[in-house]
Amino acid sequence: MSEHDITLKVNGRTYRGKASARMTLVDFLRDELRLTGTHTGCEHGVCGACSIIFEGQAIRSCLMFAVQADGASITTVEGLAEPGTLSVLQDCFWETHALQCGFCTPGMLIASQTLLDKNRLPTDEEIREAISGNLCRCTGYKQIVDAVKLAAQRLSGLNAPVKSDG
């Protein structure tokens, strides 16, 4: 049936591709653009593994058809840091070992990053709320919450005036 030309800006780069109407955005990102960092865990909007930043907001890319995203600007896990580097948040996930198998991790990073973008010093409760739509089966969430807290501290520390009294 209907096939559509799609232009997307992903991680700052413009991509063009074709998709049938029924292709979800996550399938387009993964299968057509080969950006496989975004994962699919349930394809019905519950697990959050497919989270991406769409026009500045974290959303589930399995709940949108690719054709709907034509013209949109998207950030995926591959775009959270300059190639070859890790963002402060990613580095904090490493520091606290906030992952095990790594499958939910891209979605967790997206959910946490969009929290920190809006709220530089979130409480534990705010962190838990922000990642509550992302299921993780490995970690029990503890080290993820620790990672986001650590990132918040580091990010705010970057902006804080230097203290001389230690």
Partner 1 sequence: MKAAEFDYARAASVEEVCRLLDSANGDGKIIAGGQTLVPLMVMRLTRPSLLIDVNHIETLKGIMIDSDAVVIRACTRQYDALNDVALAKALPLLAKGLAMVGHPQTRNRGTVGGSLANSDPAAEICLLARVLDAEITAVSSQGSRVIADKNFALGAMTTALSSEECLTEVRFPIWQIAGRIGTAFDEMSIRRSDFALVSAACQVALDQSGVCRRAVVGIGGAEPSPLRVDAMEQRLVGTKLEATDLAAAADLLRDAIDPITDNHASADYRRRVARELSLRVMTVARDEALAARN
Partner 2 sequence: MAEQNFRYISKKRRPKEDRRFLAGSGVFVADIAIPGMLHVGLVASPYSFARIRSINAEAALALPGVHLVVTGEDIVAGTDPMMSGLDAPKLRRYVLADGIARYAGEWVAAVVADTRAIAEDAAELVEVEYEPLTPVTDPEQAMSSESPPLHPEHGSNILFQKKWVWGTVEEDFAAADHRIAFRARWHRSSTVPIETFGVVSQWNQAQQLLDVWASIQMPKFHDLLGRALRVPGNAIRVHYDVDVGGSYGVKRGLKHSILGGYLAKRLGVPVKLMEDRLENMRGGDAQGPDRIFDMQAAFNNDGMIRSLKIRALDDCGAHAGRAPLQLGKPVGAICGPYKVNSVEYEAISVTTNKTPQEAVRGFGQAPTNFALETMVDRVAAHLGMDRLEIRRRNLITADQFPYLIPSGSTYDSGDFHTVLDKTLTAATYNDLIKRRDAARAAGKLAGIGLSTCLEPSGGNSAFEPLFNPKNETTTWMEASTIKVDPFGAIVVIMNTSTSGQGHETLAATVAGEILERDPDTIRVLHADSLSAMPSNSPVGSRMAIMLGGATAGAGKKIKASVTAIGAKKLGVAIDAVEYRDGNVVLRSDPSKKVSWEVIVEIAHRKFHELPEGMEPGLQASFVLEVPTGGTLPDATGRVQMYPCYAFESHIVYAEIDRVTGQVTLGPYTVGHDCGVMINPDIVHGMTYGGIAHGIGAALYERFLYDDTGQLLSGTFMDYLIPSSHEVPDVKIIDHCTPSPLTAFGQKGSGEAGYLGGPAAIACAVNDALSPLGLKIAELPMTPSVLGDLIATVENKRT
For residue 11, the minimal CB distance to partner 2 (Å) is: 10
Region from 5-13, 51-59, 92-100, 148-156 binding partner 1, contact rule CB under 8 A: 51-59
Instruction: Please classify residue 56 by burial: count the beta carbons closer than 10 Å to its beta carbon, then call 0-12 exposed, 13-18 middle and 19+ buried.
Output: exposed
For residue 90, the minimal CB distance to partner 1 (Å) is: 19
Q: Could you say which residues in the range 112-131 bind partner 1, by CB under 8 A? A: 114-115, 129-130
What distances in angstroms separate CA 40 from CA 35, 84, 142, 150, one per listed residue? 12, 24, 23, 28
How far is Cα 107 from Cα 143, in angstroms, rounded to an integer? 15
For partner 2, the closer CB: 59 or 115: 115
For partner 2, the closer CB: 71 or 132: 132
Q: Could you say which residues in the range 67-96 bind partner 2, by CB under 8 A? A: 76-78, 80-81, 86, 90, 93-96
For partner 1, the closer CB: 1 or 162: 1
Q: How many Å separate Cα 14 from the centre of its chain?
A: 19
Binding status of residue 31 toward partner 2 by CB under 8 A = yes
DSSP 9: E
CB 108 within 8 A of CB 49: no
For partner 1, the closer CB: 125 or 165: 125
For residue 138, the minimal CB distance to partner 2 (Å) is: 5
Paired tokens of 106: 């891209």
CB 53 within 8 A of CB 75: yes
The CB density around residue 91, as the number of other CB atoms within 10 Å, is 15
Residues that bind partner 1 in the complex, under the rule CB under 8 A: 1-2, 4, 20-22, 24, 27, 43-45, 48, 51, 54, 57-60, 62-65, 67-68, 70, 111, 114-115, 129-130, 132-134
